[in-house]
Amino acid sequence: MRALLPLLFTSFVVFAQTPKVQEAPLRAHLAFLADDLLEGRGTGARGGALAVAYLESQLRKLGLKPLQGDSFRQEVLLDGARLRKNQSSLAIASPLGELPLRFDQDAVLSTGQVKAGLTFDAPLVFAGYGIHAPEADWDDYKGLDCRGKILVLMVNDPPPTKEEPSRFNGASMSYYGRWVYKYEEAARQGAAGVLLIHTDSTATYPWSVVLNSFSGERFQAAERRGNPLEGWITDAFARRIFQAAGQDLEALRTRAATREFRPVELGLRLKGNLAIETRRLTEFNVAGLLPGTDPGMKQDAVIYSAHWDHLGLAEPDKAVRGDRIYNGAADNASGCAALLAVAEAAATCPARRSQIFLFVCAEEQGLWGSSSWTKHPLWPLANSVADLNLDSLNILGPTRDAKASGHEHTTLGPLLAELAKQMGLRLLPPEPDLGGGYFRSDHFPFVRAGVPAVSLGSGSDFLGDAASAKEKLKAFYARYHQVKEEYDPSCDLGGMVQDAQFALNVGLALANSRETPRLLSRPITGK
């Protein structure tokens, strides 16, 4: 029998002898999943299939239970689309002549309705931020009939003002600022397409990120119905479009930051065709159940999640000294390795509630695996106590702090702070979320579905001297999402073990408690 140690602040309890996450298995899983043999665990690729087979056999080995018959897999149907650039051509027709769109240079384009061929002859309309938010008394559409039209939109959300310092989450990005939302709303309005104007400051990343993320093959859930045309244009190209229309883009941007803004017909048409190489495929989420021990509580489950996919193989022309493999050692071989090590420790000491270890697919493609789980859950959402997500853990060494992104939107704060303290760590307070990171990992579909969810990881207060820690972080971010994001056997996994232990401690505290955390605020997610 293990003694129960009640905590003072709530009725949450933790076992006095919490099982310990071991570094050896964690390191072994990381080395395997980040190996060149897995070719970057691409979606629809052999390396991804290997990762799925590995995760499945590990869950089986740990004695976890499948959630669907005898299968640890959940099918996720995806559509892949790749623009055939040499067979596609688009131009803006204006009274002054034609403005051709040079693929990759001026525009990165795809489709939200995966079809082999798309033809366009459609008027362009500037619709500001493309936000329809009745609860914020904000509507950029003002009753515009969007059918058959291409919307030119700004990314991000209207900045705060002196009178309204907290509109659209103030300095942090709200969901209305995400390009994902812009596409969703435009599709609801029935638009023929969306061209998002890129700027470094509004996107919060440079054009190269748009190019790397969207110019190759992209996948989306087969059940998604987006806009026929979806893509980005550079700021420079946008200026040429507005000039051709005799409009002042800067003046329109200023107007778009007010409620009075009305959509502006640009008097230009987008003409041409896109040829798309398509394929439909089945990917897999992998999930294993550790049943709860208390007959009255085991219908409730704590979910731990980590995405297994990364970017796969780079196009040959993007190879760096012959290396084409996006190993994604941190993103997210680290989260999967930690989750397997957490599962191994948890399995030695089942809790009163059930625990589910969920490895989702296609995160890098738009959170499709986790979205698919929350749309077709293999465990009822009403009985899902919380989702603890692990994404891009720290492979640089132990820190004095712990991070739980999004905890401020839940009642989990006091528990997280107390459990961090018991590990000698400080829980990082919420920081302004300028780039909308909160909406960009697999905890978010859970939040959207009403389940309290956070992404756990380390902070940046590394043990040892601050200057060398800063250097380490800088070097790390230079490799992040590049082919050089590799596993190095000499790397210090002390921070990752710490992250994994923190996740387990939080999971066990929730799984041994009768308390159910809540979301404090449901971020506005459109209708």
Q: Which residues of 304-321 are buried (b: 16+ CB within 10 A; e: fewer)?
A: bbbbbbbbbbbeeebeee
Sole binder of Zn ion in the list 185, 300, 331, 344 (CB under 5 A)? 331
Stretch near Zn ion under the rule CB under 5 A, chosen from 50-58, 385-393, 406-414, 504-512: 385-393
Cβ atoms of residues 494 and 423 within 8 Å? no
Residue 270 or 361 with smaller CB distance to Zn ion? 361
List, as own/partner pairs, every contact residues 58-63 make where C-beta atoms lie below 8 angstroms and the sequence separation is at least 24, other chains included. 58/29, 58/340, 58/343, 59/286, 59/287, 59/288, 59/343, 59/357, 60/288, 62/288, 62/340, 62/343, 62/344, 62/347, 63/347
By CB under 5 A, residue 391 contacts Zn ion: yes
By CB under 5 A, residue 212 contacts Zn ion: no
Number of residues that bind Zn ion (CB under 5 A): 3
By CB under 5 A, residue 389 contacts Zn ion: no
Nearest-approach distance from CB 363 to Zn ion, in angstroms: 5
Helices (H) and strands (E) in the chain, counts: 13, 22
Stretch near Zn ion under the rule CB under 5 A, chosen from 222-230, 326-334, 486-494, 505-513: 326-334
Residue 47 or 158 with smaller CB distance to Zn ion? 47
Residue 157 or 499 with smaller CB distance to Zn ion? 499
Nearest-approach distance from CB 154 to Zn ion, in angstroms: 26
By CB under 5 A, residue 332 contacts Zn ion: yes
Stretch near Zn ion under the rule CB under 5 A, chosen from 119-127, 145-153, 270-278, 384-392: 384-392
C-alpha of 357 from chain center = 18
Tokens of 463: 């043990």
DSSP E strand boundaries for 57-189: 73-83, 89-94, 97-100, 107-110, 117-126, 132-133, 138-139, 150-154
| φ/ψ bin of 452: left (φ > 0), alpha (ψ from -120 to 50), beta (otherwise) | beta
Nearest-approach distance from CB 10 to Zn ion, in angstroms: 31
| φ/ψ bin of 436: left (φ > 0), alpha (ψ from -120 to 50), beta (otherwise) | left
Stretch near Zn ion under the rule CB under 5 A, chosen from 79-87, 179-187, 324-332, 481-489: 324-332
Residue 43 or 332 with smaller CB distance to Zn ion? 332
Nearest-approach distance from CB 494 to Zn ion, in angstroms: 21
> What's the number of CA atoms in the CB half-sphere (13 Å) around residue 428?
19
By CB under 5 A, residue 227 contacts Zn ion: no
Residue 79 or 442 with smaller CB distance to Zn ion? 442
Residue 157 or 486 with smaller CB distance to Zn ion? 486
Tokens of 494: 């002390």
Stretch near Zn ion under the rule CB under 5 A, chosen from 157-165, 253-261, 274-282, 323-331: 323-331
Site for Zn ion in 146-185 (CB under 5 A): none
Length of the chain: 527
Residue with tokens 């990120």: 209
Stretch near Zn ion under the rule CB under 5 A, chosen from 38-46, 254-262, 328-336, 464-472: 328-336
Identify the DSSP state of 423. T
CA distances to 4, 58, 508, 509 from 512, rounded to whole Å, are 10, 25, 6, 5
Residue 67 or 313 with smaller CB distance to Zn ion? 313
Residue 177 or 457 with smaller CB distance to Zn ion? 457
C-alpha of 242 from chain center = 33
Nearest-approach distance from CB 332 to Zn ion, in angstroms: 4
Give the residues lining the site for Zn ion (CB under 5 A).
331-332, 391
